[in-house]
Copies of this chain bind each other. A is one copy, B any other.
Amino acid sequence: MRATVIQAPGDIRLEDVPDPKIEEPTDAVVRVVASCICGSDLWSYRGENQFDPYRIGHEFVGVVEEVGSQVATVGAGDFVVAPFLYSDNACDNCRNGVQSACRNGGGYEGCQAEYVRVPYADGTLVATPERPDAGLLPSLLTLSDVMPTGWHAARSANVGPGSRVAVVGDGAVGLCAVLAARMMGAEQVIAMSRHADRQELARRFGATDIVEARGDEGVAAVHELTGGTGADSVLECVGTGPAMLQALGAARAGGSVGFVGVPHGVELPIRQMFRRNVGVKGGTAPVRSYLPELMQSVLSGDIDPGVVFDCELALDEVAEGYATMDERRAIKVLLRP
């Protein structure tokens, strides 16, 4: 089969690799219907992570091709959403709702490919009740990562009815975080963005205010929009030091920052956090935990997070997809094998 390999920063290739097979009785092999490129894939692409060449991509939806003898909840022909990490959904951490820290969990071999082997298929995959309409495919694909990750930011920052929320980051995750905050009943959602197309999507997802300024100016703008107080909850969806400082500054005293951007060069100013009672919680989203509920919202048509995909390419064009995202010509690129 064909699979995407990142050879070096900026060097994305589609290569022929062996077809995946059932290796354990708890495995499934899934034929990829759609995959995509993640903002976090760009850390490698831009050379900000050290790495040896590897098969890249971790988000996909597809149709189950084959299952191992112990797989009970999904079977050949089922349409499934795959959380970006597999999990047994049985260990103590999974039972605590933190499937991203599953004792037996981990990442797939690259999913920007034609097929993927899924360990612990029962604990990982969630099937739709029936084959979904083609139009729902992008939204279902967001459930593999970006939508539950935005949701996780909001949950980690205790967003609830009446909350005043600021969102740092206008990538797919940040936009999904706007949507999640509104779903949880936030009264005010301030999207921090300086790109017209993303601002428009943020508004569509329920943002009540847009702040273009960054850094201290951006912080001041959030305070002004919240009557001088700051936001109850700030959703940090970038992962850089400046983004985190902006998030901490935008929070009100006693507020919470939910962070889901993979930290790169982030140092938490603990004294400031102490003085202002601003907390920080988040991390790798437990997608499997949120997936059933969010799938309902997508299938019922209540939400359409799939609009974050503003570029669709064939898997053959994956290298172009990376360039498109790197140059911010697209918010998020969907790939069809």
Contacts and interface: CB of A to CB of B under 8 A. Distances in A.
Interface string A238-258: 000000000000001110100
Contact of A275 (B101, B254, B279): B101
Given A101-B277, A266-B270, A271-B263, A252 B282 contact: no
Contacts of A280: 268, 273, 279-281
Contacts of A262: 274
Interface stretch (A61-69, A92-100, A304-312): A92-100
Contact of A254 (B101, B228, B266): B101
B279 A282 contact: yes
Contacts of A120: none
A174 interface: no
Contacts of A276: 101, 283
* Copies of this subunit: 2
A229 B93 contact: yes
A254 B284 contact: no
A330 B267 CA distance: 37
B263 A96 contact: no
Nearest to A100: B277
Contacts of A227: 92
A273 to B, nearest CB: 6
Nearest to A232: B96
Contact of A253 (B101, B228, B252, B278): B101
A267 B259 CA distance: 17
A124 interface: no
Interface string A82-99: 000000000011001110
A84 to B, nearest CB: 14
Contact of A229 (B92, B256, B281): B92
B282 A274 contact: yes
A88 to B, nearest CB: 14
B256 A281 contact: yes
Contacts of A44: none
B270 A270 contact: no
A286 interface: yes
5 nearest CB pairs, A to B:
A279-B281, A101-B253, A98-B254, A277-B283, A274-B283
Given A96-B253, A98-B277, A101-B277, 4 more contacts: A101-B276, A268-B268, A276-B283, A278-B281
